[in-house]
Amino acid sequence: MPGFVKMEMEDRLAIVTVNRPDSLNALNSIILRELSVAIEHLSMAADVGAIILTGAGDRAFVAGADIKEMANLSGLEMQHFSEMGRRLGDAMASCNKPIIAAINGFALGGGCELALACDIRIASVRAELGQPEVGIGIIPGFGGSQRLPRLVGPGWAAEMIYTGDRINAATAERIGLVNRVVPADRLLAEAKALAHKILEKSPAAIALAKACLRAAWDMPLSAGLDFETAAFGIVGSTQDKAEGMRAFVEKRKPAWTGA
């Protein structure tokens, strides 16, 4: 893919890299569009089972949204910029493939929000995360005020957003913002190892499981349980269900088709 987003394939694993290291991978409108297109393409790709999202270089995952671009935007233009971030977050949520963030450095502002929109987050020991927007007179605009409290609770979300303070990787792990912290030189390998565990499982089941987990963010418990029951019925009619149970009985590895 041209521009600031690089995409590589390893078997059924797509590695998507925000490739603007001279600006610490800051998100401008071009990158937001390119990422949205990339995620939407990967969601439809039959030969992709999981996605890793990371940043180029060793300093930043994504250091934030591009302040130079935002500085001269009007209120309506700021709203449009926020809507672009919203579209990207929605594309990541509706993507039927798990997305793993490999947070290799700064994940601030829009970068933290990009990580929040992923399904799983693994951080380098060098990572720093934060929502510093109030320090430049704005608020999170790419979903941070909504996803962060759902992930870490309202207290930590309020402290991070109101103070704008960064937290280190160890604190992020402790409050549940990242799943685990690994040495910097092991980050991509650990993300790939986790992705390959997922790739061994039924693609049909993974897609429906992701839909159920995302429903849990949006629905009250009773509606979420209804959604899960319906999804359980759908997965029960798949070829993967028949193959998985047959393979279990026959004590062999299943041969998934994703159908």
Please list the active-site residues.
113, 133
Q: In what order do the strands lie in the sheet with 128-130?
A: 60-62, 106-108, 128-130, 167-168
Coil, strand or helix: which one is 16? strand
What is the spatial distance between Cα 33 and Cα 41, in angstroms, rounded to a whole number? 12
What is the spatial distance between Cα 85 and Cα 103, in angstroms, rounded to a whole number? 19
What is the spatial distance between Cα 125 and Cα 171, in angstroms, rounded to a whole number? 11
What is the spatial distance between Cα 61 and Cα 202, in angstroms, rounded to a whole number? 30
What is the spatial distance between Cα 256 and Cα 259, in angstroms, rounded to a whole number? 8
> CB–CB of 47/6 below 8 Å?
no
**Whole-number Cα distances in Å, 132 to 105, 144, 161, 207, 252:** 16, 11, 7, 34, 51
**Overall residue count recorded for the chain in this entry:** 259
